[in-house]
Amino acid sequence: MDQVIIPSVYRKPYGLSCHRDALPWPSLFLLPATMHCPFCGANDTKVIDSRLVAEGEQVRRRRECLACGERFTTFETAELVLPRLIKTDGSRQPFDEEKLRAGMQRALEKRPVSVERLESSLVHIKHKLRATGEREVKSLVVGELVMAELQKLDEVAYIRFASVYRRFQDLNEFREEIDRLAREPVKE
């Protein structure tokens, strides 16, 4: 069997940049299906900009629908197995990234934090969970990771999350946490 040498014009450090029909050997690659437009549902879209985000863990793509002309953003990540969570009552459940994202978005509501920074924080949390090497981790570990990321993103969002997560009962608990936050430098 002959070896196929891919000319450098077709190689990119983070994937192919040309359309599969432009390749001289289209049958050799299984490229992903085209992206459907969230506005009109058409599957004829083109990528107008790609860049790495979240410290190289994600690809952010700006796309344009060729049918309706609307533009939208997609984020692509490699899907890796994350540990199951052990809840405080002892029950176990799979890690749910959407639940994590929703909780952080609630804390960040109406705060000046970009989607890219939120996504980067989610990537950090998932990376740290994978780095444990464990098949199961306590949900408290995830809560502490979220608090650490929110503290770096936005102190108001951190206090919002902490007040629910730690079940603050009165204003004194808020004051104590705010005072501790003012004294303690943010960990990177």
Write down the pLDDT at residue 11.
35
Q: Are strands 92-93 and 71-77 parallel, antiparallel or unpaired?
A: unpaired
Return the domain boundaries, the chain. Answer: 33-77, 84-183
pTM over 0.75: no
pLDDT at 188: 57
Name the stretches of the chain with pLDDT < 50: 1-32
Q: Do the Cβ atoms of 170 and 176 come closer than 8 Å?
A: no
Residue 107's nearest CA partner among 155, 40, 46 is: 155
**CB neighbours of 106 closer than 8 A, spacing ≥ 6?**
160
**What pLDDT is recorded for position 186?**
62
* 92 neighbors 75 (Cβ within 8 angstroms): no
